[in-house]
Amino acid sequence: MNTIKQLTIKNDRNQPIKSISHQDIYSLHDLLEQLNSWQNALNLLNDFFSDKQRPVNKKKIASNYYACSQIFCAFHNEFSQALQEMEKQITELRQKEKVKY
The alpha carbons of the chain give a radius of gyration, in whole angstroms, of 22
pLDDT at 79: 92
Q: What is the pTM of this model?
A: 0.61
Comparing C-alpha atoms, which of 94, 86, 53, 18 is closest to residue 61? 53
Q: Are 71 and 27 within 8 A, CB to CB?
A: no
| 3-state SS class at 2 | coil
Angle CA 47–53–54, to nearest 5: 155
| pLDDT tens digits for range 54-83 | 777 888 888 888 988 999 999 999 999 999
| pLDDT tens digits for range 28-61 | 888 889 889 999 999 988 988 887 777 778 888 8
pLDDT at 81: 93
pLDDT at 101 over 90: no
